[in-house]
Chains A and B, each alone.
Chain A
Amino acid sequence: MLHSERVRGIVYQALLLAAVVGVGWYLIDNTLHNLQTREIQTGFGFLGRSAGFEIGETMIEYDPSRTYGRALAAGLLNTLWVSALGIVAATLLGTLIGIARLSSNWLLARLASAYVETVRNVPLLLQLFVWYGMLTELLPPVREAIAFGDLVFLSQRGLRYAWPQPAPGWSAAGWGLAAAVAGVLAWRWLAARRQQATGAQWPLLWPALAMLAGLPLAGWLLGGAPTALERPVLGGFDFQGGKALSPEFVALLAGLIGDTMLYVSGGAEHQGPTGGGPIAIIGQIQ
């Protein structure tokens, strides 16, 4: 029986599995034992306890009386948010730079190459420091903020901008946008079916654009066409009202985009993103 290749295979698999499980169990047991011997308390009970510290920017409601679990979730969402923005922006900019490197315009191609060659080996952490330093050292203090009308203010505290006051019209516009996206998808599906059945083509672009622009507009109009803006006003220590992008956020985003862009642009032929990730390759079609 042991000469059967199939049986041997199964035996080896089982042995390997047992070894992996055994080593895993040993490591966990040993760690717990040592933590206990050293009187270090461990466990996940803390997740339900009140955190007691403040977080600068959160996407979900958070205050220091909330739990550690909530604080971790807030941090995780921040990471996902900055990653999502970074991926979109880096893809767009990276593609442009990749195309620019292949351009027949000598200046454009050389500038793009110079950018890639300069930044590609600067460690990400250093790039973050440079961006953060520029944002907090070169921009004016909050009381001397650079103002664009009374809508946008740029200072060491980041970018503060006016934002529509919450109103039914805006939520209606949001629903309109959602309906438009669903409508466009449905239209595409219908058009494809019709083309398969009859061979006739329906226009795609114009109805899609009309839906994407029209439905939110209709929702906004139906909701009473709100125009009131919440403007940032300087009061106390900082601007109050409106929305804000903090220097920490912008520096992190800029650093991530600047770094990831290189991989997207295909400029770092021998390097991949740290930790792996997709690399778009832009080739010239002769």
Chain B
Amino acid sequence: MSGSGGTRGTGGLRRLKTVIRAGLRSNFGLTLLKHRLFKEKKDRWLVPVIGLGILGALPALWGIILIIKGAYEMLAPMGQERALLSLGILAGQLLILVFGIYYVISAFYFSRDLEMLIPLPLRPGEVMTSKFAVIVINEYLTVAAVVLPVVITLGVLAKGGVGYWVNAVLVYLALPVIPLALVSLAVVAMMRFINVSRKKDALILVGSIVLIVLAMGLQIALGKSAGAGGAQASAQDVAAFFTSPDSLLNRVGAFFPPSIWATKAVAGGLSGEGLANLALLLGVSLVFFAAMVVLAEKLFYRGLVGLGETTGKKRLLTSDEMSRRVSSGRRVIAAVFGREWKIMNRTPIFLLNGVLVVVVFPAIFVLMAIMDPAREGGSMVLMRIMTSANPLYVILAAALFMTVCGSLNGTSSSTFSREGTQFWISRVIPVPPREQVAAKFLHSYLVAMLGVVTASAVSAVFLHLKALHLAAAAGLSLVAGVLLTAVGMIIDLARPLLDWTNPQKAIKQNLNVLLAMLADIGILTAFFFGVKMLIKVKMAGKTVLGVVFAALAGLAVLSYGLLLRFSDKRYPEIET
């Protein structure tokens, strides 16, 4: 293995640094990005586009900050403001727990660079640490949207000192370690003891779903526990709960103690409590990380070697079977659509991030409704009352819900990227780009429709929407779906990410997916302000709906036309 005697330690550390650096560079495409930005000068236009995307999302971020501020002003007089911090941190850590499973399984076991790394004179723990570093950095980006607004807003409102900010940075850096190490430990142990070489796809799918269900179960339990004091508790219990400082924090964080330590570390700053909790969080993170490395040394390669091999049964088709299976000639659009459909559904990472996501949002809504402890006074009832006040609000709110469920997924914005190195096939087949793109649009739009239909069913059952309102909302969201699908596809077509080695990069770590989401949020925010203005000038409800529908339909037609034109121009330019 490594050098001998005294140089072993420093040599090992240097080697570990090299592996981590190589992992980060290849994963985040830094070398490639540098080459494209400064040498080829190809992607410079991306800089203003990303800036614009962030600007577009600013109003939504401002809304979130206002909500946090409102909650803070309500909780601070009761001494419960730290619960907010804990809630943000806990949400971030649960998010890591849920989505970490995709990252961990695909980075540890299914990324293609493993074939190159395993034969190198590296210890299993070093390979795993390099992969772990990549996932941790990914998680910083994933949880930023959940954790940072809370931590920063609270820091500003509570006038946090130097200790607050220093600890906040340290806590943020340590935040993903414990949940990710937990997931890694579970996954490494599972992969070692289950022979998965033939069923790796099914494993990712089942494993991920089980973990999502577990994480959601945790949230239901959390909700029930938080609400347990609601209907049945006496007035004294409630008073005692709210007058005891941090009681809410302790209850919220009870399910995942590191979130309590993290909260106390940040809020406590340089006080004894702050430093003690910081030490506890960092110490436990280190212990979990070390445990993961130790386990990796023993089990990682044993679960890994042979995993890349897939086998199939050999069976000769009879001439009848062959005749049945050989297609008699489908239309080109049907052929391309069929290819999209099969590849998406048979690649677990694509299926989970593209299709499953559209049903996860409605499922979360259903869980919220089910776990509502005080059925006749809870948030669902409140929501029903709020939305039944004015049919216009009912329809628009439901349409927004359906649109978010249907369109805010990575299907359309990764449709070209998902082809990866196989994009050459699309380039050489004698099919006009616009026909290929029409088939891809149909596929992405179908996924969006699945979300709209699921969200419609949920709205009908839990919000008791009238059929007419439901139909109007579904109509609006179906038209909005055309616009958002086309926008997502245009963004991906402008700069498809084709050189990935791990399917995760094509959809989950694809900048195009993020850009498209920012664009979608920007479009929806613009519509929100537009409607607000129309209501302000006292336009009749039906007219407002008519204007929104017409605007959406106009933009939908325009964006679809633009997409087809863009495909004619762009396809020949994409060099593979």
Partners in one complex: no
Instruction: Please give the residue numbers on chain A whose beta carbons come within 8 Å of chain B beta carbons, in ascending order.
Output: none
Binding site for A on B (CB under 8 A): none
